[in-house]
Chain A
């Protein structure tokens, strides 16, 4: 497998999973747009150095752009607590507080989305399954967890195939939003149906190959891990817990953070 310049693929899947979760927890606990913006910037810089950077960014844009637009409309224009009115548009008012709220929520969601996409596009599925099963997760459950975590990359591959089949029969996807929406509408049903059909087929093959067997499984490859990674996971966990504790303490005793 080729690697990016600072590839997350080389890390133990638990390290990247812990990292993604810690980033999400700490950013939520911090609850400040400037902090979220800094973290998001850092994540994007890290993304840019991955081999699949383009795929991660495309998926992030597909999720975040509609979400951010909705946030801006909802809170930018209609924010009941807004006091500092910047512009009046009939019943709607653009307020400084509303915009700040939208910015805060938008950036925080951005951190969440990019962190988990970065994880799911860079994790090596066989290794994740191996570490989950080594920690006692039943194989079928492990498969479900892994499938859920890597659903987006898998769906992205599948959509590419469906789009190729449709383009080969005359579908032209232009740059306009309407054209992209048409393409999405034409691809959504085939995507779901093919994933469902394949999951039935796959279950047969997995059963026949003994995947659901109760005996302990062995593993051909050892999953790379190291003392620094082990330590990093502990530090990330402690930091996450500390961030939550501080947040709760401030809320209880010290007013708002």
Chain B
């Protein structure tokens, strides 16, 4: 391995086209061979923007004005590249850059080519483009599949993978080209414990082999704890007048930024909104006021399976194989389980987006079969695992207002537009997005997108909140918003069922914890 950093960058400033303030300011980062570096920051701190700059993933002239420099170590052909923010700045060849610096975006699906119909084909895609010979390709695919735990999924269509499986595939696609620098944006999002363990082992093996790994995260998790260097980015706290957003608040070893495992004085981590698991606010044990109340929602021996034609699968191959569940008013229930075990499938049974092959779903005592999903939506609000699939409108306000109020007619607007607007604004304020009323949902940072999706659910005040991986990518403030939303909903008698891999969070917040395994729910203690 060559001496010195494999990648060094100084971002004096970076401003998106049309933005008033820079998204990033005065950030320096170096990644030495074999090192693990963590870039920590809350929502809107610019972590993903920084990752994209380092990965040469921002479109055109960086989609904005970049001042600073990027430097590839001896392994790279790029050398040192200076940016002055002018139109004559050098352009980076993304493919040549990616040969040295690989990037796995927070949204793992964005990594996929969409023109390969098997996991093996998707892994091969980057190698095929390099003209790697078939035998060599097969070896590397087998090797990468072993490292990322994808051995049993090689013939699966990537479009059918669960969120966690997709993330491991995206990481596999990045490492298969053997880059010298690997940038991972929220690498544990949607991963189960086993998947997280696989990724952690992979990172350790890569660093041992000399790869420089940079992790971008809003949580100071165990992987980040083992990093040799932390860079903490400031957070834009909405409405507070603080303008730390995109600024390097602190840098150093984890030891200097944490004292006895909790944020040290000066508190750059707290200010930035980074979640420090050991420092999580302790909540009083919840009083289960569900008692013997009649269940709001009941699942009785629900079976469901997919097959290609959309028919019910044969017995034994089903995803759900006799699920029983009763959810009472005021109760918070958490469901955990391995990636691909059918947790999201289970939640979709609750609001009628999927229907049981056999068995019954009772909502407020009445069977839901025959009732359209759109009608059930009044009582069951579903937060999708991937906010991209939940959000479809042009502005945050329109997004939350969709479907509120009177039934829509083809050529007539809702009669109670003013009331709808008020409710939508209140929901946006509740999740702290009141300053982004007119922002396009896809322009929001990933964590804010999840909060916007949450706003669309709470605005409807449903009797049952079904939350699919609600904590993914949320910073401290985001988790507080989520806590408040659940507390308020249960206070007036709603019930919450959440699917999560975040076991510590589930234990702290839920009244009951269940595990979905082999298609059935069992209590987990």
A residues with CB within 8 A of B: 1-2, 51-52, 54, 124-126, 129, 139, 143, 146, 161-162, 164-173, 178, 181-182, 185-186, 189-190, 193-194, 197, 200-213, 215-221
* Cα(A190)–Cα(B99), bound, Å: 35
Residues in B whose Cβ lies below 8 Å from that of A208: 55-57, 94-95, 97-98, 102-103
- Contacting A at CB under 8 A, from B136-178, are 137-138, 141, 157, 173
* Cα(A168)–Cα(B139), bound, Å: 44
**Is the CB–CB distance between A218 and B110 below 8 Å?**
no
B residues with CB within 8 A of A: 55-59, 94-95, 97-99, 102-103, 105, 110-117, 120-121, 124-134, 137-138, 141, 157, 173, 307-310, 351-353, 372-375, 377-378, 381-382, 384, 389-394, 402-404, 407-410, 442, 456, 460
**Is the CB–CB distance between B372 and A167 below 8 Å?**
yes
The answer, among B130, B137, B372, for a CB contact under 8 Å with A173, is B372
Tell me whether A168 and B353 are in contact in the complex, defined as CB-CB below 8 angstroms, given that A129-B115, A200-B59, A208-B98 are known contacts: yes
User: Closest approach, in angstroms, between the C-beta of B14 and any C-beta of chain A?
Assistant: 17
**Is the CB–CB distance between B130 and A166 below 8 Å?**
no
> Which residue, B378, B384, B390, has most C-beta atoms of chain A within 10 A?
B390
| A201, closest chain B residue (CB) | B110
**Is the CB–CB distance between B374 and A165 below 8 Å?**
no
List 11 A-B pairs, Cβ < 8 Å. Answer: A168-B353, A168-B377, A169-B402, A169-B403, A186-B408, A201-B110, A204-B58, A208-B94, A208-B97, A219-B128, A220-B128
The answer, among B105, B115, B131, B138, for a CB contact under 8 Å with A216, is B131
* Cα(A178)–Cα(B125), bound, Å: 45
**Is the CB–CB distance between A205 and B121 below 8 Å?**
no
| B407, closest chain A residue (CB) | A172
* Cα(A136)–Cα(B97), bound, Å: 26
* Cα(A46)–Cα(B378), bound, Å: 43
**Is the CB–CB distance between A209 and B375 below 8 Å?**
no
**Is the CB–CB distance between B125 and A165 below 8 Å?**
no
* Cα(A202)–Cα(B109), bound, Å: 10
* Cα(A123)–Cα(B497), bound, Å: 41
User: Closest approach, in angstroms, between the C-beta of A141 and any C-beta of chain B?
Assistant: 13
Residues in B whose Cβ lies below 8 Å from that of A211: 95, 113, 125, 129
* Cα(A210)–Cα(B55), bound, Å: 14
Residues in B whose Cβ lies below 8 Å from that of A221: 121
* Cα(A210)–Cα(B177), bound, Å: 11
**Is the CB–CB distance between A167 and B98 below 8 Å?**
no
User: Closest approach, in angstroms, between the C-beta of A160 and any C-beta of chain B?
Assistant: 10
**Is the CB–CB distance between B442 and A167 below 8 Å?**
no
* Cα(A215)–Cα(B407), bound, Å: 56
Q: Main SS of the interface on chain A?
A: helix
Residues in B whose Cβ lies below 8 Å from that of A189: 394
Residues in A whose Cβ lies below 8 Å from that of B381: 168
**Is the CB–CB distance between B409 and A182 below 8 Å?**
yes
Residues in B whose Cβ lies below 8 Å from that of A218: 127-128, 131-134, 137
**Is the CB–CB distance between A2 and B98 below 8 Å?**
no
* Cα(A161)–Cα(B126), bound, Å: 28
Tell me whether A220 and B120 are in contact in the complex, defined as CB-CB below 8 angstroms, given that A167-B372, A182-B409 are known contacts: yes
In the complex, the 3 A-B pairs of residues with the closest C-beta atoms, listed nearest first: A172-B374, A170-B403, A190-B392
**Is the CB–CB distance between A172 and B372 below 8 Å?**
yes
User: Closest approach, in angstroms, between the C-beta of B476 and any C-beta of chain A?
Assistant: 28
**Is the CB–CB distance between B353 and A209 below 8 Å?**
no
Residues in A whose Cβ lies below 8 Å from that of B59: 200, 203-204
* Cα(A205)–Cα(B116), bound, Å: 14
User: Closest approach, in angstroms, between the C-beta of B467 and any C-beta of chain A?
Assistant: 12
Residues in A whose Cβ lies below 8 Å from that of B99: 210
Tell me whether A220 and B137 are in contact in the complex, defined as CB-CB below 8 angstroms, given that A205-B113, A208-B95, A215-B130 are known contacts: yes
**Is the CB–CB distance between B95 and A172 below 8 Å?**
no
**Is the CB–CB distance between B410 and A204 below 8 Å?**
no
Residues in A whose Cβ lies below 8 Å from that of B137: 218, 220
Residues in B whose Cβ lies below 8 Å from that of A202: 110, 114
Residues in B whose Cβ lies below 8 Å from that of A194: 392
Residues in B whose Cβ lies below 8 Å from that of A213: 95, 129-130
User: Closest approach, in angstroms, between the C-beta of A139 and any C-beta of chain B?
Assistant: 8
Residues in B whose Cβ lies below 8 Å from that of A168: 351, 353, 373, 377, 381-382, 384, 390
> Which residue, B307, B373, B381, has most C-beta atoms of chain A within 10 A?
B373
**Is the CB–CB distance between B115 and A210 below 8 Å?**
no
The answer, among A54, A165, A166, A210, for a CB contact under 8 Å with B129, is A210
* Cα(A210)–Cα(B125), bound, Å: 9
**Is the CB–CB distance between B410 and A182 below 8 Å?**
yes
Residues in B whose Cβ lies below 8 Å from that of A52: 309
**Is the CB–CB distance between A217 and B129 below 8 Å?**
yes
Tell me whether A126 and B117 are in contact in the complex, defined as CB-CB below 8 angstroms, given that A181-B410, A213-B95 are known contacts: yes
Residues in B whose Cβ lies below 8 Å from that of A181: 410
User: Closest approach, in angstroms, between the C-beta of B102 and any C-beta of chain A?
Assistant: 8
User: Closest approach, in angstroms, between the C-beta of A49 and any C-beta of chain B?
Assistant: 12
* Cα(A144)–Cα(B25), bound, Å: 38
Tell me whether A171 and B374 are in contact in the complex, defined as CB-CB below 8 angstroms, given that A165-B384, A182-B409, A182-B410 are known contacts: yes
* Cα(A52)–Cα(B373), bound, Å: 24
Known contacts A146-B115, A208-B94, A217-B128; 12 further A-B pairs (Cβ under 8 A): A126-B117, A166-B402, A168-B381, A169-B377, A171-B374, A171-B408, A173-B372, A208-B56, A209-B129, A213-B95, A218-B134, A220-B120
